[in-house]
Amino acid sequence: MTPRVLPYLLALALTVVVLGVGAAAFAPPAAAQPAPAQVKPLPRSATPAGKDVSDRDVVTKRDAAGQVPATGKPRTSTGTALAFWLFAAITIGGSIFVITRKNLITAVMGMVGTFFGLAALYMLLYAHFLAVIQMLVYAGAIMVLFVFVIMILNKPEDEPYATKGRAGKAVAGLAMAYLIYRLASVLLSVDRNVTAAQLAAPAPTAEGYDWGSTAAVGWNLFNEYLFPFEAVSILLLVAVVGAIAVARPLKDDDGEVLPPGDGGRGAGGA
Amino acid sequence: MLMNIGFGHFLVLAAVLFAIGAAGVLLRKNVLIIMMSIELMLNAANLTIITFARMHGDLGGHSFAMVVIAVAAAEVAVGLAIVVAIFRTRRHADVDKLNILKH
Amino acid sequence: MTFSSGDLVYVAPFLVLAASGVLLVLAEAFFAGKDRSALAGLTVAGALASSVVSVVLYRQMGPSEAKLLFSEMLIADRTGYVLTALFGVVAALAALLAPAHQRAHGWVIGEDYGILLLAASGMVILAQAANLATVFLGVETMSIAVYVMTALRRRSRRGNEAALKYFLMGAFATGFLLYGMALVYGAVGTTSMVHIQGRLASGDLGLLTVGMFLMVAAFAFKVAAVPFHMWAPDAYEGAPTPVTAFMAAAVKAAAVAAMIRVFGQFMGGDRLPYGVIGWASPLVVLAAITITVGNIAAIRQDNIKRMLAYSSISHGGVLLVGLCAMGLGAKSGQASLLYYLIAYSLTTMGAFAVVAYVGNRDNERLDIDQWAGLASRHPAAALAMTVCLLALGGMPPTGGFFAKFYVFKSAMDTQDQQLLWLVAIGVVNSAISIFYYLRLVTAMYFKDARIEIAPTRSAALAFVMAVCPLVILEMGIFPGWWLSL
């Protein structure tokens, strides 16, 4: 099997699995709006199995004290589940697009899809402000930067897959696959230790702002994260100055010469 | 499992995204695709952080994720600048063809 | 939770570095087309000022006093100030190397100085970090600045090839670092490292283990430990020599500083490092492989920069031994690590200063054979290089000897002497390393020059070449004061 075909097969298989799983979850179309949905995983409860088909749309009932009752079996609403699978499919599908496409612009579009899916998933996790930032910064700014550079370079690839050091990469890939396999079991077991309080919709912050809203994140950013927030400016300054210093046209440097012993022909290659 | 979306689902999704990004770095040889794959990895980490922030009810995770987004933007800017500089001196951007420095 | 302006005093080294970095970036606008040596002077002043401030703060802190700053984002203690002072000094030395090299090799770019100081400010964040967020921020500030510095010699195809390789590898490692941090955060529910120990009982050990292993791998990238070392020889060879010196000395020291904080102090102790789930288990294996592979690869190199690169890889392995010893509870672990970092950084700066001195515009003279006969024409340079090489090889009476001695001694101090095998590997490798260091010494002293040597002359360069070997000798003859830091 050539290395050219393998990623396509991989992509196809993964897409089929993800979409199939999403389709299996398909239920009445009350779903398309992710924002108000709630995430209610299954805590350990004493409910016997097999009695749970009736109350599909019941979101966790909370008693007056805000506790999830120990008897009823809390479920995610169908809308939430559907939204999750839909946006998970978009995220994974987009990312597979990125690593398999020959055409760079197509890859960028896959990337934008991934960012859109991720922003929607952030909404499901009550990270509303970050969802907006994700769209603005990643899809709006970073991907545009990519598109500009692609237009500057404007070169199609003749052979998109790296062939050097295949053995080392195979070992690295196997190690990674094993790691992900082990990791998945660890990650899924997180749900077993989740408490009812963690499942409930998050309470407003101590300052009275909705959890995950702009005000709440801003409060945290300017109190707990004040130092990193200010210090990021140093990093951004390095990036701005550095990017200009590295990428400005060569003719601007007065009196620079190509260091000898530097691979033959002059710089610029023209 | 399918209709009961828990934190585990988000976390596994993030792990898969991370793996796809890492696979892209290892398999592809166009620098821009490799950089996009690295962005995928950072986004997977961000999704993990935000999921855990929700789970622990800790808004600090959101602030951390904001810092990560800023860092990622800076990294992309510098990386693309280096790609442009490479392109100025050799008219291509293939990782496999960069072999002046011997091993 | 609230901001108090009193905290600002304790981060004064960072503020001085960042402010002078910003100032230099601005000053560059007024130096277009003029002599940029004045910028180097400003850089040295800023870096040394931050070192002086660090020393003052060091003297104000009690020996085991620690103060948490900015809602537990940073920590101020003596360890941190020793490291910040070191980073300031190394940045100053790197700035001294730069003007002569820039003129000689035609890459007169003023941005180099500002970015150098901003990189140092990232390292200072690392040295004082008490939160995973600040660790991440420090690593990235430092790394991004150094990617830029590697790429600054823009007409050199070696230079930008090295920069791209370094960038891609480094960014890949960043992904692992961040994912590891995310999992640790999930396990303990906080990014504040001060609380990680306390929350272990209720934490998810599975997540924590995977997260720690990913972080170990990412830091192994940054210190160039085998098998994550592929970028180092290429980046060291392709970068301009002053930048290479800064990378080899300061970036490695900063990565180790971060590891001292994350693993040695906050995840150390009696619970985490041990057994199958502990971070020390992969780290000892990495240390053993790194020392051995780095040395064996160094023997085969004919290019001096690549030889020094592999030698610095194997030194990274010894530093990892010290980290394991510290995490496993050796009392002298931290002091020996600090001593090693100081000795190693200064030695590396000295060695690369001589490399920068010997080369000139027509010929960088990176081949070992081209150094033949250096001793007869330029005895002082040859002597400086010899002292540095002996220190790197761990020979008395240089500081390099005591550095290795104390690190291995602290490894022996661990319970049940469980690092004995690692110490044996380290000692055998030190003996092997003498071979390739002496190869260069032999070339300088016992072979005749085949081509005329026209070195890059500069007072600043000569100063670095004189000071580094002298301090290393002083460290070797009177190690007591340095060890008490």
H/E run at residue C349: helix C333-358
ipTM: 0.94
| Closest Cβ opposite residue C182 in set B25, B49, B74 | B49
Q: Which residues does chain B have within 8 Å of residue A141's beta carbon, measured at their own beta carbons?
A: 73
Both tokens of C2, joined, read 């609230």
Q: Which residues does chain B have within 8 Å of residue C147's beta carbon, measured at their own beta carbons?
A: 78-79, 82
Torsion sign, CA atoms C264, C267, C271, C276: negative
* Neighbour subunits, C (≥3 Cβ pairs < 8 A): A, B
**Cβ separation C155–A225 shorter than 8 A:** no
Asked, for residue B1, whether it belongs to a domain, the answer is: no
CATH assignment of the domain containing B33? 1.10.287.3510
**Cβ(C110)–Cβ(C154) below 8 Å:** no
Q: What is the number of structural domains in chain B?
A: 1
Residue A48 pLDDT level (bands cut at 50, 70, 90): very low
| Closest Cβ opposite residue B78 in set C133, C147, C155 | C147
Asked, for residue B102, whether it belongs to a domain, the answer is: no
Scanning the structure block, which residue is given the tokens 């986004």? B43
Residues forming beta bridges with residue C69, ordered by sequence position = C74
| Closest Cβ opposite residue A262 in set C2, C145, C156 | C156
**Cβ(C239)–Cβ(C162) below 8 Å:** yes
- Between C200 and A4, name the one with better pLDDT: C200
- As a whole number of angstroms, the distance between CA C131 and CA C395 comes to 38
Q: What are A122-137's pLDDT values in tens digits? A: 999 999 999 999 999 9
Which residue blocks in C447-478 are alpha helix, DSSP H? 459-477
Q: Which residues does chain A have within 8 Å of residue B64's beta carbon, measured at their own beta carbons?
A: 225
Asked, for residue B2, whether it belongs to a domain, the answer is: no
SS (H, E, C) chain B: CCCCCCHHHHHHHHHHHHHHHHHHHHHECEHHHHHHHHHHHHHHHHHHHHHHHHHHCCCHHHHHHHHHHHHHHHHHHHHHHHHHHHHHHHCCCEHHHCCCCCC
Give SS3 for A261.
coil
| pLDDT tens-digit profile, chain C (485 residues) | 556 788 899 999 999 999 999 999 999 888 877 778 889 999 999 999 999 999 999 999 988 889 999 989 999 999 999 999 999 999 999 999 999 998 888 888 888 999 999 999 999 999 999 999 999 999 999 999 999 999 998 888 888 889 999 999 999 999 999 999 999 999 988 999 888 877 876 778 888 888 988 999 999 999 999 888 989 999 999 999 999 999 999 999 999 999 999 988 888 766 666 666 678 888 999 999 999 999 999 999 999 999 999 999 999 999 999 998 888 888 888 999 999 999 999 999 999 999 999 988 777 778 888 888 888 889 999 999 999 999 999 998 899 999 999 999 999 988 777 889 999 999 999 999 998 999 999 999 998 877 777 888 889 999 999 999 999 999 999 998 898 88
Least confident of A20-29, A83-92, A197-206: A20-29
- Judge whether residue B70 has pLDDT over 70: yes
What confidence score (pLDDT) does residue B67 get?
Answer: 95
- As a whole number of angstroms, the distance between CA B45 and CA C39 comes to 40
* Neighbour subunits, A (≥3 Cβ pairs < 8 A): B, C
Cβ burial of C470 (10 Å; 0-12, 13-18, 19+) is middle
**Cβ(C238)–Cβ(C159) below 8 Å:** yes
What confidence score (pLDDT) does residue C357 get?
Answer: 92
**Cβ separation C140–B74 shorter than 8 A:** yes
* Neighbour subunits, B (≥3 Cβ pairs < 8 A): A, C
Q: What are phi and psi of C387, to 5 degrees?
A: -60, -45
- Between A240 and C454, name the one with better pLDDT: A240
- Judge whether residue B5 has pLDDT over 80: yes
Both tokens of C53, joined, read 């401030």
- As a whole number of angstroms, the distance between CA C482 and CA C335 comes to 9
- Between B58 and A168, name the one with better pLDDT: B58
Both tokens of A153, joined, read 């370079």
Q: What are A140-179's pLDDT values in tens digits? A: 899 999 999 888 886 666 566 666 667 777 887 788 788 7
Determine which of B4, B32, B100 to mutate to test the interface with A (most A C-beta atoms within 10 Å). Answer: B4
Nearest CA to C317 out of C252, C265, C263 is that of: C252
Q: C253 Cβ partners below 8 Å, 6+ apart?
A: C83, C86, C87, C90, C123, C341, C344, C345
DSSP string covering C55-86, please? HHHHHHS-TT-EEEETTTTEEEEHHHHHHHHH
- As a whole number of angstroms, the distance between CA C309 and CA C485 comes to 28
- Between A21 and C207, name the one with better pLDDT: C207
Q: At what angle do helices B31-56 and A78-100 cross, to 10 degrees?
A: 160
- As a whole number of angstroms, the distance between CA C431 and CA C406 comes to 16
**Cβ(C475)–Cβ(C485) below 8 Å:** no
Mean pLDDT of chain A, nearest integer: 72
**Cβ separation A180–B19 shorter than 8 A:** yes
**Cβ separation A228–C204 shorter than 8 A:** no
Pairs across A and C, CB distance < 8 A = 133
Domain boundaries, chain A: 1-44+57-156, 204-248
The A residues from 146 to 165 touching B (CB cutoff 8 Å) are: 146, 149-150, 152-153, 155, 157, 159-164
**Which range scores top for mean pLDDT: A12-26, A29-43, C170-184, C452-466?**
C170-184
- As a whole number of angstroms, the distance between CA C221 and CA C181 comes to 15
Residues forming beta bridges with residue B30, ordered by sequence position = B94
Give SS3 for C33.
coil
Residue B17: domain span:
7-97
Report yes or no: A180 at the B interface, CB cutoff 8 Å: yes
- Domain at A1-44+57-156: CATH architecture: Up-down Bundle (1.20)
Report yes or no: B76 at the C interface, CB cutoff 8 Å: no
| Closest Cβ opposite residue C151 in set B52, B67, B85 | B85
Cis peptide bond prior to C273, omega within 30° of 0: no
What confidence score (pLDDT) does residue C233 get?
Answer: 92
DSSP string covering A148-211, please? HHHHHH----SS-B--TTHHHHHHHHHHHHHHHHHHHHHHHGGGGG--HHHHSPPPPPTTSPPT
- As a whole number of angstroms, the distance between CA C316 and CA C480 comes to 24
DSSP string covering C250-300, please? IIHHHHHHHHIIIIIIIS-TTTSSSTTTSTHHHHHHHHHHHHHHHHHHHHT
SS (H, E, C) C220-261: HHHCCCCCCCCHHHHHHHHCCHHHHHHHHHHHHHHHHHHHHH
**Cβ separation C111–A225 shorter than 8 A:** no
**Cβ separation A227–C2 shorter than 8 A:** no
Comparing alpha-carbon positions, the chain A residue that sits nearest to C202 is A193
Distance from CA of A32 to the nearest CA of B (A): 15
Chain-centroid distance, C-alpha B19:
10
Report yes or no: B59 at the C interface, CB cutoff 8 Å: no
Pairs across B and C, CB distance < 8 A = 126
Report yes or no: A96 at the B interface, CB cutoff 8 Å: yes
What confidence score (pLDDT) does residue C272 get?
Answer: 64
Mean pLDDT of chain B, nearest integer: 88
Nearest CA to A259 out of B97, C282, C223, C362 is that of: C362
Which residues of A have a CB under 8 Å from any CB of C?
A: 179, 182-183, 186-187, 189-190, 193, 223-228, 231-232, 234-235, 237-239, 241-246, 250, 253-263, 267
The bridge status of strand C66-69 relative to strand C74-77 is antiparallel
Report yes or no: B17 at the C interface, CB cutoff 8 Å: no
Nearest CA to C237 out of C294, C304, C144 is that of: C304
Q: How far apart are the first and last CA of chain C?
A: 32
| Closest Cβ opposite residue B15 in set A137, A187, A225 | A187
- Residue type for C477, please? I
Distance from CA of B103 to the nearest CA of A (A): 12
What confidence score (pLDDT) does residue A23 get?
Answer: 47
| Closest Cβ opposite residue B7 in set A85, A98, A190 | A190
Which residues of C have a CB under 8 Å from any CB of B?
A: 132-133, 136-137, 140, 144, 147-148, 151, 154-155, 157-158, 160-165, 167-168, 171-172, 174-176, 178-179, 181-183, 185-186, 189-191, 233-234, 237-238
**Cβ separation A254–C33 shorter than 8 A:** yes
Nearest CA to C160 out of C245, C238, C248, C251 is that of: C238
Q: A123 Cβ partners below 8 Å, 6+ apart?
A: A34, A35, A131
Torsion sign, CA atoms A6, A9, A14, A17: negative
Q: What are B78-101's pLDDT values in tens digits? A: 999 999 888 888 766 666 667 666
Nearest CA to A98 out of A213, A34, A16, A14 is that of: A14
